[in-house]
């Protein structure tokens, strides 16, 4: 996936939808952003981008009892052994085919798994027929969401990074908690937009994915390689979403037919808007 999604649900909706036991979104959390996040972290964001803090559901023990929690984590995984946080700009996705072997992801997959709620995600399709003003293939953004209108639960992994420059380990700003979205090969139809898509888990599999007592990767191998094509619908949207500054529900509205140029219909393969 290209690195944008719509985290448009409000927190109360997420708490109910994901059976959250502890709402910890308002606890102090370190950010990697130089400027204040817009919209502020925790509010609906129709253009969630890497390095922003996003709502994430995870299960961690509280007084030795596993509790499902809602927290704000930074999108872009920084491994615990990293010297700095620069990796957050690069490691936003983890490929399902290699997540269990890659040193940056393997430990998190074994014991720190999360669900990343979303209404849907954006992908940019490269036109096979039309070029932009710079002579490069024109790119058309699409929005992909569940056909049944339900929220998505993207499979994620998360990690803790300790800033040794902060002397007190109990200082919440001594820790940066980051996540990556697990991706897989795009299913038929969606592969006409992009060759990758997020790994989206079904409701009946959420508890097993979140269970921290399941530490054998073999026990979740079927989830890592989950395949259920036909769940999603995709349509072109305004190119405004390409700007980090753009936001609001208008971003997921279908683009007018007159704006389409050399766009491939994901369902039929037909070229829309001229050749």
Residue 108 has pLDDT above 80, yes or no: yes
Q: How many residues does the chain have?
A: 275
**Cα 195 → chain centroid:** 16
Query: What is the model's pLDDT at position 172?
Result: 83
Q: What is the CATH number of the domain that holds 213?
A: 3.90.1680.10
Instruction: Specify the pLDDT at position 2.
Output: 72
Q: What is the mean pLDDT of the chain?
A: 94
Q: Helix/strand/coil (H, E, C) string of 167-183? A: CCCCCHHHEEEEEEEEE
Range from 46-60, 169-183, 189-203 carrying the lowest mean pLDDT = 169-183
Three-state secondary structure call for residue 192: helix
What was the pLDDT predicted at 85?
A: 86
Dump pLDDT digits (tens) for 227-259. 999 999 999 999 999 999 999 999 999 999 999
What's the pLDDT score for residue 90? 80
- Contact between 118 and 45 under an 8 Å Cβ cutoff? The reply is no
CA atoms within 13 A on the CB side of 17: 21
119-140 residue pLDDT tens: 999 999 999 999 999 999 999 9
Q: Is the pLDDT of residue 275 over 60?
A: no
35 pLDDT band, cuts 50/70/90, is very high
Tens-digit pLDDT profile for residues 66-77: 999 999 999 999
Q: Residue 86: pLDDT above 90?
A: no
How many Cα atoms occupy the beta-carbon half-sphere of 62 within 13 Å?
9
| Mean pLDDT confidence for 144-153 | 96
Task: Tell me the β-bridge partners of 261.
Answer: none
Q: Is the pLDDT of residue 1 over 80?
A: no
> How many domains would you assign to the chain?
1
- Range 77-96 average pLDDT: 87
Closest CA to 244 of 33, 78, 71: 33
d(Cα 72, Cα 211) in Å, to the nearest integer? Answer: 19
Percent of the chain with pLDDT over 90: 89
45-77 burial, b if ≥16 CB within 10 A, otherwise e?
Answer: bbbbbbbbbbbbbbbeeeeeeeebbbbbbbbbb
Task: State which residues form the domain around 174.
Answer: 4-272
């Amino acid at each position: 996936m290209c690195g944008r999604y719509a985290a448009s649900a409000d927190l109360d909706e997420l708490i109910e939808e994901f059976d959250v036991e502890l709402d910890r979104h308002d606890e102090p959390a370190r950010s990697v952003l130089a400027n204040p996040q817009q919209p502020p972290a925790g509010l609906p964001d129709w253009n969630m981008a890497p390095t922003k803090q996003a709502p994430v559901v995870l299960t961690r023990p509280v007084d030795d009892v596993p509790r499902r929690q809602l927290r704000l984590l930074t999108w872009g995984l920084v491994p615990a052994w990293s010297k700095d946080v620069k990796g957050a700009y690069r490691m936003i996705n983890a490929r399902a085919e290699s997540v269990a072997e890659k040193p940056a992801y393997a430990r998190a997959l074994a014991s720190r798994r999360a669900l990343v709620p979303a209404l849907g995600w954006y992908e940019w399709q490269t036109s096979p027929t039309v070029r932009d003003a710079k002579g490069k293939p024109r790119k058309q953004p699409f929005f992909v969401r569940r056909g049944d209108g339900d929220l998505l639960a993207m499979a994620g992994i998360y990690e803790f990074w300790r800033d040794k420059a902060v002397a007190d380990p109990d200082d919440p700003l001594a820790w940066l908690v980051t996540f990556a979205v697990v991706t897989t090969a795009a299913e038929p139809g969606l592969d006409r937009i992009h060759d990758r898509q997020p790994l989206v888990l079904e409701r009946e599999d959420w508890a097993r994915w979140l269970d921290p007592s399941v530490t054998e990767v073999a026990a979740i191998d079927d989830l890592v390689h989950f395949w259920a094509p036909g769940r999603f619908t995709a349509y072109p949207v305004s190119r405004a979403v390409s700007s980090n500054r753009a936001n609001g529900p208008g971003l997921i509205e279908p683009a007018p037919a007159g704006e389409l140029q050399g766009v491939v219909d994901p369902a039929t393969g037909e070229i829309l808007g001229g050749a």
